[in-house]
Structure 1
Amino acid sequence: MKKYIPSFLRHVGPGVVTGAADDDPSGIATYTQAGAQFGTGLLWTVFLSLPFMIAIQLVSARIGRVTGKGVAANLRQHLPAPLLLGLVGLLVVANTINIAADIAAMGESLKLVIGGSAHFHSLMFGVITVLLQVFVPYRKLAHVLKWLTLTLFAYVATVLAVHVDWGRVLYDLVVPKLQFDGGYWMMIVALLGTTISPYLFFWQASQEVEELRLKGGERGTDDAVKRDLARVKQDTWIGMTFSNIIAFFVMVVGASVLYAGGVHDITSAAQAAEALRPLAGDFAFWLFAGGIIATGLLAVPVLASSAAYAVAEAFGWEEGLERHWREAKQFYAIITVATLVGTALGFTPIDPMKALYWSAVINGVVAVPIMAAMMVLTTRADVMGRFTSGRKTRWLGWGGTALMGFAALMMGWDLVH
């Protein structure tokens, strides 16, 4: 066991943490709603998005490792300042809304488990996540986040605790049952927006920079870069696959329990946990609710920190979770404000699902130009040197950009109509 623990911490890197953070409480709510509303009919989308998700995260991680700078710091050198600041501003708004939904879901879930006030629990989680980021250096915080990734196995255990028609599941994976109504396609757009999110690009690239700083901050020899890029590739493949497998299991639970039980409308992750209790029993409820709390503790720091990295890099401020707060006051101020404002939104009459919808719209708008700019950067020798992305990554990266462009157009169509 003593040998296993350091080995686990050594081999789980930014890619796995990024993938796990993608399955935040808001994502869990979206996946559960997809299963509750359409049964197993949308499971195929999880595997459709996977190669594009892997490619774009590989691009962001490669940019961070090769250049030693985050995504926004690189874009600052190649995009007009007003455009970059506009994109970063929208990212901060979307992340803050996402934080609000995640912290509210965590508070509601803890209330379901132990009672008390959901608002008090939410405030507690907001303060805890701020303290973790401000006062725990990256080298220690990274280990905490790595261990939190294991909590996602709660959703695998939930599947084992309920009855699943695996024949139907496998059939719908191989033979997708397409529908041509607006709700079906908008759910596909929501799933794409949940799995391919801009905050993940900024986070993973910046974590590669943090890892580089822990080694002394030097880029190293070409051989050292090659070794790190091989590690990045393996780490990202594992992380994104893990993320989508968890999404798959959450959708299976929604389809097998809620859809089969006649519950077709889920508005939050906490409501999903509560709906499971009478249909699947206390054990499934406890697993699902506990998973919401644990994934929130993982995702909220990622959301807040990615916003802080983007803003600090765009303005050229000192940044980094390894730095003491006195060395990067603006960076930590953004983390604190984004988290506490997100927490405060839970005390207002704002409808969390409508807020999440607008967050998805903003993410869809922001993702496309950022992905396109990243794809251009990763093919430029003056930026990447000899470590430009390979042909397969380029094709899949541009394919993912086109897919998110389609998703943005579909959201625009839905808003107009």
Structure 2
Amino acid sequence: MISWFKNIGPGPLVAAAFIGPGTVTVCALAGAGFGFTLLWAMLFSIIATIVLQEMSARLGIITQKGLAETIREEIKNPFLKSLIVILILSAIVVGNAAYEAGNISGGVLGLETVFGSPKLKLGNFFINSYSLIIGFIAFVLLYIGNYKVLEKTLVGLVIIMSFSFLITAIVTKPDVMAVLKGLFNFEAPKGSLLTIIGLIGTTVVPYNLFLHSYLVKEKWQEKADLKFAVRDTYIAVVLGGIVSMSIIISAAAIQSKEINSALDLAQALEPLFGTYSKYFLGIGLFAAGITSAITAPLAAAYVANGCLGWNTGLRSYKFRFVWIFILGLGVLFSSIGFKSIEIIKFAQIANGLLLPLIAGILIWIMNNSSILGLNKNTKIKNIIGLLILAVTLFLGAKSILGVFNLL
């Protein structure tokens, strides 16, 4: 059992990254609006995430290089290479800067659910002190620059988050048969398309493919360790999926259409299932916010490191500059309540383009014998990967059309 825990590593960090406040909100809306019927979309998302993240982890361990670094080395055409690197940097670095305020705000919302809302007045501005606290915690953990400390902290937070949301779902006493029907009956009620896209889009996250390939080589350096990485990926992503499903189930158990956010879900739970359920949800939301607030700047720094060919470590000034910049913007925008809609729209477009592109490039790389040797993709993995690629193309097109109000 001790050796089993010893080999739990990057997987929970990946789960921590995709279960952010955005995921919590989308899952709450899915449950409130469509009951248990969209659980199948989350099941598909879990399978897709496992397949793609396993490829990313295998690449990192076998080559001891990150995905961004491999893309920069393997694409020989200068124009195509520059175009893809610019898109990756735009989507991941600028995108994560845009989303970081939302990550911190989600953690703040969790604290406010439990402790109330403190405000500090500075001149004409009201600053939320919880944003500063979450930003400080994230800063300290990232600045230490010790992978093991970061890993243990995030694994602990993921466990807290998992228990919080799972207990919340259990206390709502859902209809088990209705839950099973929702998982395996592929039904798309009228008006649910954008919600389905949202559920898949918040789980199959482009920056996680880059983050995972870097994190595995921080923990494992031998090909023989691949079995640990695969098991770690499976367990963590399934655990993350259970968290997301728990939120859908909790929201579905409340027969109310007035759920527009996680805070609405917490308030709706209180009169039905007691004050304690609100606390479980609040703690879970805090954990979701702070884990994403740590992993988003970390992923951006790794991507910049690989795309720009820096080859630096966690403690280098270039690496620190990227994550400090993104974390700082997140704290600033979250604490003053500023929402840059245009930047977020740009990030959505870039990520909509990036997800199918990176999934396609990853599958291409994973079939290259000169890079992976005997560890390249099997036919079954390619078939599943191509099916996922087709869905991500559809997802990317729909998310871009949605941003321009053409859907």
TM-score, L = length of structure 1: 0.88
Alpha-carbon distance between aligned partners in 1 of 2:243 and 2:108, rounded to the nearest angstrom: 22
Letter in 2 for 1:302: T
Alpha-carbon distance between aligned partners in 2 of 1:376 and 1:23, rounded to the nearest angstrom: 28
Tell me the residue number matched to 1:15: 11
Tell me the residue number matched to 2:392: 404
Instruction: Show CA shifts across 1:258-291 (max 9, x none).
Output: xx1x234413x33432332233321110000001
Letter in 2 for 1:111: E
Q: Note if 1:386 corresponds to 2:379.
A: no
Letter in 2 for 1:62: R
* Paired residues of 2:348 and 2:400 also in contact (CA < 8 A): no
* Paired residues of 2:39 and 2:248 also in contact (CA < 8 A): yes
Distance change >3 Å, CA 9–CA 298, structure 1 → 2: farther
Q: Note if 1:109 corresponds to 2:105.
A: no
Alpha-carbon distance between aligned partners in 1 of 2:50 and 2:342, rounded to the nearest angstrom: 29
* Paired residues of 1:304 and 1:339 also in contact (CA < 8 A): yes
Tell me the residue number matched to 1:216: none
Alpha-carbon distance between aligned partners in 2 of 1:175 and 1:186, rounded to the nearest angstrom: 18
* Paired residues of 2:269 and 2:277 also in contact (CA < 8 A): yes
Alpha-carbon distance between aligned partners in 1 of 2:386 and 2:189, rounded to the nearest angstrom: 26
Q: Note if 1:368 corresponds to 2:356.
A: yes
Using the TM superposition, give the Cα deviation of residue 68 of structure 1 relative to its aligned residue in structure 2, in angstroms.
Answer: 0.6
Instruction: Show CA shifts across 1:315-334 (max 9, x none).
Output: 1114333xxx3xx1111111
Tell me the residue number matched to 2:365: 377
Give secondary structure in 1 for the equivalent of 2:374.
Answer: coil
Q: Note if 1:124 corresponds to 2:133.
A: yes
The more displaced of 166-175 and 334-343 is 166-175
Counterpart selection for 1:150 from 143, 159, 183? 159
Tell me the residue number matched to 2:193: 185
Using the TM superposition, give the Cα deviation of residue 157 of structure 1 relative to its aligned residue in structure 2, in angstroms.
Answer: 0.7
The 5-angstrom pairing of residues 130-141 of structure 1 reads 130-141=139-150
Give secondary structure in 2 for the equivalent of 1:346.
Answer: helix
Counterpart selection for 2:183 from 165, 169, 173? 173
Letter in 1 for 2:181: Y
Distance change >3 Å, CA 180–CA 108, structure 1 → 2: closer
Letter in 1 for 2:232: D
The 5-angstrom pairing of residues 18-417 of structure 1 reads 18-79=14-75, 80-115=81-116, 116-117=118-119, 119-151=128-160, 152-181=162-191, 184-212=192-220, 224-225=222-223, 227-257=224-254, 260=255, 262-267=256-261, 269-321=262-314, 325=315, 328-347=316-335, 350-351=338-339, 359-414=347-402, 415-417=404-406
Give secondary structure in 2 for the equivalent of 1:385.
Answer: helix
Alpha-carbon distance between aligned partners in 2 of 1:408 and 1:341, rounded to the nearest angstrom: 26
Give secondary structure in 2 for the equivalent of 1:195.
Answer: coil
* Paired residues of 2:109 and 2:286 also in contact (CA < 8 A): no
Distance change >3 Å, CA 94–CA 272, structure 1 → 2: farther
Instruction: Show CA shifts across 1:223-260 (max 9, x none).
Output: x41x2121122111111111111111110001112xx1
Using the TM superposition, give the Cα deviation of residue 357 of structure 1 relative to its aligned residue in structure 2, in angstroms.
Answer: 6.4
> Percent identity over the alignment?
24
Alpha-carbon distance between aligned partners in 2 of 1:38 and 1:52, rounded to the nearest angstrom: 22
Using the TM superposition, give the Cα deviation of residue 25 of structure 1 relative to its aligned residue in structure 2, in angstroms.
Answer: 1.9
Letter in 2 for 1:263: K
Tell me the residue number matched to 2:124: none
TM-score, L = length of structure 2: 0.90
Using the TM superposition, give the Cα deviation of residue 382 of structure 1 relative to its aligned residue in structure 2, in angstroms.
Answer: 1.6
Alpha-carbon distance between aligned partners in 2 of 1:8 and 1:377, rounded to the nearest angstrom: 30
* Paired residues of 1:71 and 1:205 also in contact (CA < 8 A): yes
* Paired residues of 2:87 and 2:350 also in contact (CA < 8 A): no
Unaligned runs of 5+ in 1: 213-218
Unaligned runs of 5+ in 2: 76-80, 120-126
Instruction: Show CA shifts across 1:68-102 (max 9, x none).
Output: 11111111113312321222222112212222111
Using the TM superposition, give the Cα deviation of residue 154 of structure 1 relative to its aligned residue in structure 2, in angstroms.
Answer: 0.8
Alpha-carbon distance between aligned partners in 1 of 2:98 and 2:32, rounded to the nearest angstrom: 24
Letter in 1 for 2:95: A
Over the aligned positions, Cα root-mean-square deviation in angstroms equals 2.2
Distance change >3 Å, CA 276–CA 19, structure 1 → 2: same
Aligned length: 391
* Paired residues of 1:106 and 1:270 also in contact (CA < 8 A): no
Alpha-carbon distance between aligned partners in 1 of 2:128 and 2:227, rounded to the nearest angstrom: 45
Give secondary structure in 2 for the equivalent of 1:386.
Answer: helix
Distance change >3 Å, CA 174–CA 383, structure 1 → 2: closer
Alpha-carbon distance between aligned partners in 2 of 1:264 and 1:228, rounded to the nearest angstrom: 48
* Paired residues of 1:198 and 1:363 also in contact (CA < 8 A): yes
Using the TM superposition, give the Cα deviation of residue 348 of structure 1 relative to its aligned residue in structure 2, in angstroms.
Answer: 5.0
Tell me the residue number matched to 1:215: none
Letter in 1 for 2:187: K
